Amino acid sequence: MFAPDATQHLILPYDESRGLIQTFWAPEFHVIGGEAYILFTVGGSVWGRNAR
């Protein structure tokens, strides 16, 4: 559970033009060269589990 005063950050917005519209999954957090990165997989409109 997050602290009530925790700041939320939008990491990657819904973006239909880039195909970023389905479930985001398999996140991995890494520090590379002193910078924090989040690597993930996102389902597109054709192959996502919620595709119609």
Phi, psi of 42 (to 5 degrees): -135, 135
- pLDDT at residue 52 in the model: 47
SS3 sequence, the chain?
CCCCCCCCCCCCCCEHHHCECCCEEEEEEEEECCEEEEEEEECCCCCCCCCC
Distance CA 22, CA 25 (A): 9
Distance CA 49, CA 7 (A): 30
Whole-structure pTM value: 0.45
pLDDT tens-digit readout, 8-51: 887 777 777 776 776 777 789 899 999 989 888 876 666 655 54
